[in-house]
Chains A and B, each alone.
Chain A
Amino acid sequence: LAKTTQPISMDSYEGQEVNITCSHNNIATNDYITWYQQFPSQGPRFIIQGYKTKVTNEVASLFIPADRKSSTLSLPRVSLSDTAVYYCLVGERGYSTLTFGKGTMLLVSP
């Protein structure tokens, strides 16, 4: 399983764009990149998944460079409710176990 590295924590203010980068240098050809959000005492919530280039949905964008050794989760105009831990995971699409790293604790302040 490809190992991921993320910043332990990030701080931001309401209304700003937040970009969280994840490194996954040994990502395999069949691996997808998935991001989850977790609030305290709740299960992780799926945010976005991608394989290459750019993926966008109603809550976030995921940028993946051509070498796929990293990815960036972009949260536009964050609000206080976006304060949470964000996990980047790499694995075969839906067919492998997920290994959670330490995640990134995002703190959004007024």
Chain B
Amino acid sequence: GAVVSQHPSWVICKSGTSVKIECRSLDFQATTMFWYRQFPKQSLMLMATSNEGSKATYEQGVEKDKFLINHASLTLSTLTVTSAHPEDSSFYICSARATGIGKETQYFGPGTRLLVL
């Protein structure tokens, strides 16, 4: 089936630093990837839609200058949390929508746990 990976699986950083999270579709191409954030005991919240070769579309209330998204290839999207602060600590999950076979739904990565000290 469609496999999506994320790296790193967890990261701890100091306040003010930037953190990059990678999302890869391993066995399919994805023209569109999505980034979600999930706080403890809450549901997933969509942050942005990442389209290969074009700018990402951000949901209302998500700062595009703080959460930089790059989707440079059909198998890789990156989310960079710039100048991270403790309130950015969360579980970040990406998903990818396949092209062609399997395009009927989104496949999710395992998530990245970010802790900002």
Contact = CB atoms under 8 A, between A and B. Distances in A.
Contacts of B20: none
Interface residues of A, number: 21
B105 A97 contact: no
B34 A45 contact: no
A63 interface: no
Task: State the majority secondary structure of interface residues on B.
Answer: strand
Interface residues of B, number: 25
Interface in A78-110: 87, 93-95, 97-103
22 contacts: A34-B105, A41-B91, A41-B113, A43-B93, A43-B95, A43-B108, A43-B111, A44-B93, A44-B108, A45-B108, A46-B105, A46-B106, A49-B105, A87-B43, A94-B98, A94-B103, A94-B106, A95-B97, A97-B34, A97-B46, A100-B43, A100-B44
